[in-house]
Amino acid sequence: MESEIDMTADLFGVRSLLFLPASNPRAIARARDAGADLVVLDLEDAVKPADKEAARDAAVEAVATAWTTPVAIRINGAGCEWHSLDLDAVARSRADFAIVPRAISGHLVRGVADVVGKPVLAMVETAAGVLAAADIANASAGLIAGTNDLRADLRLPLNSDRRAISAALQMIVLAARSAGLPVFDGVYNRLDDQDGFAAEAREGRSLGFDGKSLIHPSQIMPCHQAFAPSAEETDRARRLVAAFNGGAERFDDGMIERMHVDQAERILARSQA
């Protein structure tokens, strides 16, 4: 396993976070070669109460052998009967990251990090979490928007679209960027709607997210396509960097300065990755 510093830095290259129940050995086996940038072995929502102990053991066993991609374990939240057992299991495991659900404070995230001794990604998925997002970000290695739980916590109608949570999503992105962290969009639930998934992934990128949470391997490729710079973006970024001479100047149909070069360099780095 890589060092904490290296693993945290590597999160900026992550586009796809594939969540799967740690209680499902077939899903774990498929995930090894599925091509996701980060695999998340879930002990929380995806696992029935009766299967919690077995899922915990399976997650520790799964990360005991080498993976070609980083692996995280999502623990059960603070206050439930499985939380402390999950912390102990992750601490002794070879997982690269821990993921905290329903984070509502930086204090909570720091407490988890102190026990597990690994970088911690925090899920912001409640109204309280959104309002504390900056505090949570300062204690985390990255933020994940938990859109399903957020909709439920806000008591939104089941058929409401993303406009109802757009302010919350932007606050999560703002909190992550203010702390210099990567930030990831929530899941898309309709597995048979690839066009809808691709559209939501593109929207997530336009909001500033670095990648997206996934619930099935079929979503990996369209996710990577959505979060990759287009050929036009890459070409313009390359020309912009080459044209810059150190001060404000005209380029194509507008003015550019140092911040535009920094943005273009990030596009080129992502394109090469």
User: What's 53's domain CATH number?
Assistant: 3.20.20.60
- The average confidence (pLDDT) of the chain is 92
**139 near 106, Cβ under 8 Å?**
yes
> Are residues 153 and 136 both part of a single domain?
yes
pLDDT at 124 over 80: yes
31-35, 105-109, 206-210, 232-236, range with the lowest pLDDT: 232-236
> Are residues 186 and 216 both part of a single domain?
yes
Per-residue confidence (pLDDT) for residue 5, from 0 to 100: 37
Q: Report the distance separating Cα 127 and Cα 89, nearest Å.
A: 29
Per-residue confidence (pLDDT) for residue 218, from 0 to 100: 96
> Are residues 60 and 185 both part of a single domain?
yes
pLDDT at 182 over 80: yes
> Are residues 209 and 253 both part of a single domain?
no
**90 near 98, Cβ under 8 Å?**
yes
Tell me the per-residue pLDDT of 196-253, one tens digit each, with 9 for 90 and over. 999 999 999 999 999 999 999 999 999 999 998 877 777 888 888 888 877 778 888 7
Domain boundary among 227, 247, 262: 227
Per-residue confidence (pLDDT) for residue 253, from 0 to 100: 78
What percent of the chain has pLDDT above 70? 96
> Are residues 23 and 49 both part of a single domain?
yes
What percent of the chain has pLDDT above 90? 77
* 18-25 average pLDDT score: 97
> Are residues 57 and 172 both part of a single domain?
yes
Residue 242 sits in which domain range?
231-272
> Are residues 136 and 208 both part of a single domain?
yes
> Are residues 238 and 221 both part of a single domain?
no
Kindly report the number of other CB atoms within 10 A of residue 179's CB atom. Answer: 19
> Are residues 236 and 159 both part of a single domain?
no
Domain boundary among 227, 243, 263: 227
> Are residues 165 and 189 both part of a single domain?
yes
Domain boundary among 227, 242, 258: 227
Kindly report the number of other CB atoms within 10 A of residue 178's CB atom. Answer: 12
Q: Report the distance separating Cα 90 and Cα 119, nearest Å.
A: 11
In this prediction, residue 1 has a pLDDT band, given cuts at 50, 70 and 90, of very low
**92 near 116, Cβ under 8 Å?**
no
> Are residues 151 and 30 both part of a single domain?
yes
**What's the number of domains the chain is made of?**
2
Q: Positive or negative CA dihedral for 215, 218, 219, 220?
A: positive
Per-residue confidence (pLDDT) for residue 102, from 0 to 100: 97
For the whole model, what pTM was predicted? 0.88
Coil vs helix vs strand at 265: helix
pLDDT at 2 over 70: no
* 48-69 average pLDDT score: 97
pLDDT at 273 over 70: no
Q: Print burial letters for 13-30: b (CB count within 10 Å at least 16), e (below 16).
A: ebbbbbbbbbbbeebbee
The phi, psi pair for 154, rounded to 5°, reads: -85, -5
pLDDT at 3 over 60: no
> Are residues 167 and 236 both part of a single domain?
no
